[in-house]
Structure 1
């Protein structure tokens, strides 16, 4: 299996090369030359596998350059019981909706599911090459802590994680800024997530600087993140169909609702559907920063400026420029790189591009529908779910549940991907339910721990100076 750029430049890469490369050399994103496929018999043969073994099978279709025994060891280390409290439980919450529990990892967020594998795989690839890697990433909340907890203390890796000043919850800041590991560098940027993401892309686009400083990526521009997230779509389908008779399982469709910001999580579902997993609908749930919802309803993609990007009570979705949309556009235009380049040129010139003529294909061919959720929607959804099932959900998951309800179909289970534990957003839970969630002694200590962070303006030269001073070589 080889990987190519959405913009057509550079040579094809192996999985390990794509893992270390991050952003493609031409500024595009790496995608498989063709998606692997999974037939019904193979899917059924995976039914009794544990999560780590299933990850080995699914990722083995992508990471064909990694020996199978080595890949199995990486997956076993990533998804060990010591790291994840439960193997992705499915929890019905009433009204035909089931939560897919992705927040059982060390940072209580779904990002752990891919990041723990990425940490193992990066270390493996660097040991094979004898190299080092300086990760430069951007986070709107959960990516940063998941990456730092997966990579902390690793000798061949340093992490420079950019976050927007004042735009994350106190819990999210504590999970990141309290880490004292020498290889972890937290950098708070004056601006919004999109400013952080732009800085990361600007540095990755400077090939001389990228190579001199050994830069890599852990954001979902890194293809390994996307492929690792594909696994839990397969897991969720297998668990959702466990109670069916064998004759009923083949081709049985479910829908997934996905709280979406950077389009990475739902893109993994798009890949899973393309591989043959019976997914009827992929329901994209946006918050008030609903650029993606506007695109999938109108065909017009018009990112907003930093000043127009709202600070909301689902802060991990406060994103107006979705990097992974480029991978979807690549498929939409028939995998023709020149059309991708033309779209992004138009975006640069006019601030938008228009695929309204293709709008019917979004749902009919690709299965993607969308909707928007607001702060009031989040509060009412959190209350309704709690009253109906006794389950407390976080505000991002609430966005997913709210929009999922708009696309329920008889006979089609609706699975909502849980985003994070509600404890990470205590103020919103208190506002919705009038209660304070109890915190363990460990979490209380986390919130009280001293924090270490460097604040900088939205300035590329300031970031370059920090990296040049502290990067591994």
Structure 2
């Protein structure tokens, strides 16, 4: 399996194919694009049938080995077995088995004997930081440690978070040999629980940086530092953001698990609804569908920051300025520049890397592009979106509160704010006879302020998280200045 950049041109430094191992520790390609497989591996019906009863770790092995063909299969199997255990994903709730890793719970069902329309919630938040990001980040931490140990090397991870990525990355990397983490987050924009999860870590290899701005400012800093190739090489900078290909691949696994658990044979299709801001989670669903997983619809659920919903309704991709990005009660989706969206556009325009490069250069210079096919549009590829199964919808704060109350009253489950966005939008895109799986984003405890507003009671917390906000916190406050950020990194890497 070889990898190419979404922006490769005749003059591009990353035009030549790369291997999984060679892109594992990095983020952006040298030309500023994102790495993609030269072609998607296909999964046969026979393979799907063989995978139906596999434990999660073995399913992860089967999928990862299709992408990491340069890593010995025995090593991949050992890494997935080490990662996906009941001890790591131990925060299962009543009625769930930790051994299932990502258990399904049916919320609504019409018909009989399992035939008909279902609305199903797939639990992805049983890991150490109570968010779906743990599903990929725990594997990434073990992959990084494995790769660094083989070369007796070290890595400085530089990333940005709107809430859950940061804590998932830090919990996955704490204590890992040869790894330091520099994590940016928007100052005052995360929930108190999310903030405490990150800032309470006192490990010497963890550096939390609160940036005066919004998530997009943090993400811009990561891209600016990554695009300084000499600085990146000198200070051995890597990333765990969803621009990292290995993280996206790890997320592909739970789409297969959800499908296999929700169906009895390969003639059935399912749809997935995914709360999405940065497009990484649902991009993994797109990849699973391209591999041959029988997915009917991929439903993008946004909050008030509806850049992605606008595109999938109109064909217009229009990023917002920091001043136009709303601070909402589902803050992990308070994003207006979806960094993984480029991967889908690359496929949408026929894997034309030069066209992809031109479109995202226009994003940088004009704030967006238009593929609607109108008289002043940049193209007409939007007409092909339906071929990839994408639809979308939007949820507001009022929708969130109403959905949280409805799910608690009708099904006895307390969901977080982002998952509420997903369920609200999923109900608008149900198809008779097709199971709709909503991917859970996090446990409700991470957003207790809104839960209290919606239900009048506090969200239940797993053991060990009762007083996390009262723990001492360690972080630095910085302006969104690239040069200052480089100076800070250089001063703490020792390189």
Q: What TM-score do you get using the length of structure 2 for normalisation?
A: 0.93
Indicate the residue corresponding to 2:32 in structure 1.
27
**Residue 13 of structure 1 pairs with residue 29 of structure 2:** no
Q: CA deviation at 1:386?
A: 1.0
Contact 1:133 1:472 in 2 (8 A): no
Distance in 1, matches of 2:223 and 2:482, equals: 11
**Residue 4 of structure 1 pairs with residue 4 of structure 2:** yes
Indicate the residue corresponding to 1:408 in structure 2.
430
**Residue 359 of structure 1 pairs with residue 360 of structure 2:** no
Contact 2:42 2:292 in 1 (8 A): yes
* Runs of 4 or more consecutive aligned structure 1 residues displaced over 4 Å after TM superposition: none
Contact 2:317 2:369 in 1 (8 A): yes
Distance in 2, matches of 1:359 and 1:374, equals: 26
> Could you say what secondary structure the match of 2:175 adopts?
coil
**Residue 389 of structure 1 pairs with residue 405 of structure 2:** no
- Equivalent residue for 1:131, pick from 125, 133, 153: 153
- Equivalent residue for 2:85, pick from 63, 76, 80: 80
Contact 2:5 2:35 in 1 (8 A): yes
Distance in 1, matches of 2:356 and 2:158, equals: 25
Q: CA deviation at 1:322?
A: 0.3
- Equivalent residue for 1:445, pick from 449, 455, 467: 467
> Could you say what secondary structure the match of 2:185 adopts?
strand
Distance in 2, matches of 1:326 and 1:472, equals: 34
Q: CA deviation at 1:349?
A: 2.7
Moved more, 15-24 or 387-396: 15-24
**Residue 342 of structure 1 pairs with residue 358 of structure 2:** yes
Distance in 2, matches of 1:72 and 1:148, equals: 24
Contact 2:2 2:37 in 1 (8 A): yes
1:55-204 alignment to 2 at 5 Å? 55-85=60-90, 86=98, 87-94=101-108, 96-204=118-226
Cα RMSD for the two superposed structures: 1.0
Contact 2:414 2:459 in 1 (8 A): no
Q: Deviations over 1:394-420 (max 9, x none)?
A: 000000000001100110000000000
**Residue 230 of structure 1 pairs with residue 252 of structure 2:** yes
> Could you say what secondary structure the match of 1:442 adopts?
coil
Distance in 2, matches of 1:463 and 1:370, equals: 36
Indicate the residue corresponding to 1:298 in structure 2.
314
Q: Deviations over 1:23-44 (max 9, x none)?
A: 1011000000000000111111
Distance in 1, matches of 2:223 and 2:382, equals: 29
Q: CA deviation at 1:21?
A: 2.1
Distance in 1, matches of 2:246 and 2:468, equals: 29
Contact 1:297 1:359 in 2 (8 A): no
Distance in 2, matches of 1:265 and 1:53, equals: 21
Contact 1:134 1:472 in 2 (8 A): no
Distance in 1, matches of 2:103 and 2:394, equals: 26
Unaligned runs of 5+ in 2: 91-97, 110-117, 373-379
C-alpha change, 1:277 and 1:438, in structure 2 (3 Å) is closer
Indicate the residue corresponding to 2:349 in structure 1.
333
Q: CA deviation at 1:94?
A: 2.0
Q: What TM-score do you get using the length of structure 1 for normalisation?
A: 0.97
Contact 2:21 2:71 in 1 (8 A): yes
C-alpha change, 1:213 and 1:416, in structure 2 (3 Å) is same
Contact 1:40 1:251 in 2 (8 A): no
C-alpha change, 1:425 and 1:470, in structure 2 (3 Å) is same
Indicate the residue corresponding to 2:46 in structure 1.
41
Contact 1:309 1:319 in 2 (8 A): yes
Aligned residues: 466
Unaligned runs of 5+ in 1: none
Q: CA deviation at 1:472?
A: 5.2
Q: CA deviation at 1:215?
A: 0.2
Q: Deviations over 1:137-176 (max 9, x none)?
A: 0000000000000000112110000000010000000100
Distance in 1, matches of 2:366 and 2:475, equals: 37
> Could you say what secondary structure the match of 1:281 adopts?
strand
